[in-house]
Amino acid sequence: MNRTDAERIADARLHLATALEYGKPAPLDQVRIDAICMRIAAGIEALNGLPPTSRDALFGASWPAMWGMRNRIAHTYARVERDVVVATLRDDIPAVIAALDGELAGRQDP
């Protein structure tokens, strides 16, 4: 099944918004950190399916760091630092969601 770019963006947004929700109640136990990591990785993976020009337009020079975060979660899961996950939720994910919202709004029919 081929997914449209809008579907990929919507999937990514859902995963990242869910990660934010999982991160709201503090303190974060390891189970919730793991769930957050999986949602972040799934969201980034969905965005990887976009054409490179679309990713560049949305994220510019930030994309390699985003993909690196996904790789870190996927390949060295046990060594993902809690502080990095919390900082990502606080500092990065809201801006990514805002960019995705803007892109989805621009794709809707008037």
More confident site: 62 or 76: 62
pLDDT value for 77? 65
Specify the pLDDT at position 109: 46
Supply the pLDDT for residue 40: 97
Residues 11-40 have a mean pLDDT of: 94
Report the predicted TM-score, pTM, of the whole model to 2 decimal places: 0.91
Centre a 10 Å sphere on the Cβ of residue 69 and count the other Cβ atoms it contains: 19
Q: Is the pLDDT of residue 11 over 70?
A: yes
Average of per-residue pLDDT across 7-28? 95
Rounded Cα distance between 103 and 107, Å, is: 6
